[in-house]
Structure 1
């Protein structure tokens, strides 16, 4: 129950629209009436083994059942369980997390960070190229609908080069359908330029045989209805166009792109050095297609479980937990958070740890391959903590690219060391990984990734428990001491982060 002396986070979530007019309150202030002088009492100093011992798989799955119940509250609106931003399921997810944190008493100070978020939903679509209906055709995320949300008809026009300059679009593309090769610039730029050239729709085809699922990113009034298409399906069409043959086409997308109000949730220990914080986060939302119990209910609930048991200990350094909204729409919440941090608040975050998808059913123990040569100094030391822990348990692990696909991205880009672990999404498990981790080679790590079947039964209990213990370890290490860990520098990330990455969130952007 929420104490009478505290402003309930639940009330602030219910009034997010009004809260958007309120500036973000600095975590160094008394944001919810919490007495900054409150002591954690005579509690033992944080100990990694003791904290890990409190983690139980039973408690994790009790939380998962509760989360799925919240996802089901969206059934009237969406026809199935989901926790996508703007849904009743996401609102109740935020209320659940806030209520659990409030119930931990004065150990944490907590606040919301409301922000406007762009979300899109595609209801129906169809693409016909000549006489064929390509199976690989996929509407781009955040695509606008075709005119009047009705089918549009026109010949395909092959755009020159890769469609990154206005001069690449022939005059005869007006009132026709632009056919554009992937490459160099963002998908949103291609759609925008095609729209400015007068095209009624656009199809962006892959530069290799594979399919193409991406996002147009921030909406533009010049964006037009846009599909992604595999290189395999595009090849015969390109041959016809280059031979001078017309390819008449039909494009239909019924979609909506809206700006809504949502919020990040943040909780920080009252105890510990407030100038030196270890921060960790997970995203509170799912895609519209399903309840998202692994992606990323597993990460959100792992944070909640660790935050709960951390209250049994005192800490030397502050610990800050974050539940981001809008990750599935393109890392919106975490990007907003980092972009609005004053420099002095940025420096207080010694490192950020991202926990997205902790229990994939066909899992591999994956560590982001963050190095100091490419990322802010300290990222490599964090990576090695995960390596050392897996090795100490006799567990195999593998490295995965640190490529902008989750909420660490904004932190790295703004000079904050980062890293994290995962268990795999739509990637294919190799035979070598089958020998290392079990499971089935040739299948996705999560066969229910971004689908309706991402429910409670989709989370692997072994992987989820092991990784929650590792998250507890990562918190305990830095909550006790930053000795030997590099000091903070306000510098932008080097290497690959000097240029745009291929991903920003789960979707390709170029």
Structure 2
């Protein structure tokens, strides 16, 4: 793994200093250490008792002030990678850990990241606007950022082979079914065949919110379309009728440099590391105080309070950049690990969105049958804690939507908790957790209103205590937790087993 002291974080620090980013001062922190000058071995109950809602909210208010640094460029608060708001977030994290003295070593890992922005788009099919049409993430613009016109050309199968695309797609618009292979692959095949644009329609009635993933010179402007809107088009094409369309996307895709921040305890067995992470960036559209400011700040608070204790196993905190662009930071980190360093990570815990206003206590349903050995033991730790606290919980799919994905794909057991994003809360969940049925768990998910008022403090405190419990448990002892003993072959097998049913890589579908 290569770390850089690099200019990226230096720029963040100097930018933050110039803009006077507020930090939690030492006067606001409980005294570090132990009354008798020695530190006890970490204890879950004692660490949990140090978690304070007031301190979490102090951090939230500061995070929102940092997000305002993005206003000059984006006209609203944001912490998207490349923005002053994200640079300020990096500075805040870095400075907070530095204030904790020599308890942690801190490193920044600089890496190239892809960021995309869609300024305007429209898709007209026949004589009507396709209301469900959404441009794919990281899509290029239509030619010259102008509307293009052509016939819809049906693509055989799921468009995963070049042979699926007829010659007639050249100069027209490819109409491709979702499934089997990535959206990026479909866009590439259509582009190589000379299509002006591509539409990937769903096999279900729902809309398709997807991403093309890693940019390719062969990618073309690509939309997702709901199965409901696609159905009448397919009926016409099946009867041999002509269907024309106008596609327009004004977008740009850029490469920038950004930074992961890693803090590791100087004490504890360095060959047995307990790792946990949150992402430091938001989407362009808003300040991201719940997504994932809440996880970022929970980790900062747990890292701060952990300094009052000794640990048996090393604890490694990570703040990933580029999660919202497709898990870029966590993917880069895991891909950079030599096998020897990979094996030192006993487990990875993901903490993304800890305080959704219409929350449910959600546990990723990670089993050892489909994931690296130890994932199920972590899942059961969360279950037991909620049960001991007399709290309800529910399971959610372990489907690649957050930063655990790269770890699982590379043989590292993982899991995590969440409080919900754009999913709809059911009547049964209202009975379990309160709140409002029929609404999103976070009605401000990926929107401008994801500010300080968008936090459920009760849920945030509960889940930060659970984070503290998970850290304390494994930092104290890994007795009974499955050993890491993976060969390269078994790493590959784990990855293949996990990948079969995974349709997400981050917040957006990629298959």
Q: Report what 1:409 is aligned to.
A: 405
**Which shows bigger deviation, 239-248 or 188-197?**
239-248
Q: Report what 1:27 is aligned to.
A: none
Q: Report what 2:312 is aligned to.
A: 316
- 1: CA distance between counterparts of 2:179 and 2:413? 30
Secondary structure, aligned partner of 1:419: strand
Q: Report what 1:35 is aligned to.
A: none
Q: TM-score, normalised by structure 2?
A: 0.92
Residue 414 of structure 1 and its aligned partner are, at CA, apart by 1.2
Q: Report what 2:33 is aligned to.
A: none
Q: Report what 2:418 is aligned to.
A: 422
Q: In the alignment, does 2:78 pair up with 1:82?
A: yes
Q: In the alignment, does 2:201 pair up with 1:205?
A: yes
Q: In the alignment, does 2:21 pair up with 1:46?
A: no
- 2: CA distance between counterparts of 1:413 and 1:203? 29
Are residues 177 and 494 of structure 1, via their aligned partners in 2, closer, same or farther at CA, if it must alter by over 3 Å? closer
Are the aligned partners of 2:8 and 2:258 in contact in 1 as well (CA < 8 Å)? no
- 2: CA distance between counterparts of 1:229 and 1:41? 63
Q: Report what 2:348 is aligned to.
A: 352
Q: Report what 1:504 is aligned to.
A: 505
- 2: CA distance between counterparts of 1:121 and 1:406? 21
Residue 316 of structure 1 and its aligned partner are, at CA, apart by 1.1
- RMSD of aligned C-alpha atoms? 1.7
CA offsets 1:372-408 (integer angstroms, 9 cap, x no match) = 1111111111111111100010000011111111111
Residue 236 of structure 1 and its aligned partner are, at CA, apart by 1.3
Map 1:245-324; keep pairs closer than 5 Å.
Answer: 245-324=241-320
Residue 11 of structure 1 and its aligned partner are, at CA, apart by 7.0
Q: Which of 337, 342, 346 pairs up with 1:341? A: 337
Are the aligned partners of 1:64 and 1:301 in contact in 2 as well (CA < 8 Å)? yes
Secondary structure, aligned partner of 1:227: strand
Secondary structure, aligned partner of 2:470: helix
Q: In the alignment, does 2:215 pair up with 1:215?
A: no
- 2: CA distance between counterparts of 1:118 and 1:369? 30
Map 1:20-35; keep pairs closer than 5 Å.
Answer: none
Secondary structure, aligned partner of 2:372: coil
- 1: CA distance between counterparts of 2:42 and 2:99? 21
CA offsets 1:188-241 (integer angstroms, 9 cap, x no match) = 111111011110001111111111110001111110000001011111122222
Residue 41 of structure 1 and its aligned partner are, at CA, apart by 6.1
The number of residue pairs the alignment matches comes to: 481
Map 1:35-434; keep pairs closer than 5 Å.
Answer: 42-434=38-430
Map 1:474-485; keep pairs closer than 5 Å.
Answer: 474-485=470-481
Residue 160 of structure 1 and its aligned partner are, at CA, apart by 1.7
Secondary structure, aligned partner of 2:180: coil
- 2: CA distance between counterparts of 1:218 and 1:129? 28
- 1: CA distance between counterparts of 2:393 and 2:152? 47
Residue 243 of structure 1 and its aligned partner are, at CA, apart by 2.2
Which blocks of at least 5 consecutive residues in structure 1 are unaligned? 1-7, 17-39
Are residues 9 and 67 of structure 1, via their aligned partners in 2, closer, same or farther at CA, if it must alter by over 3 Å? farther
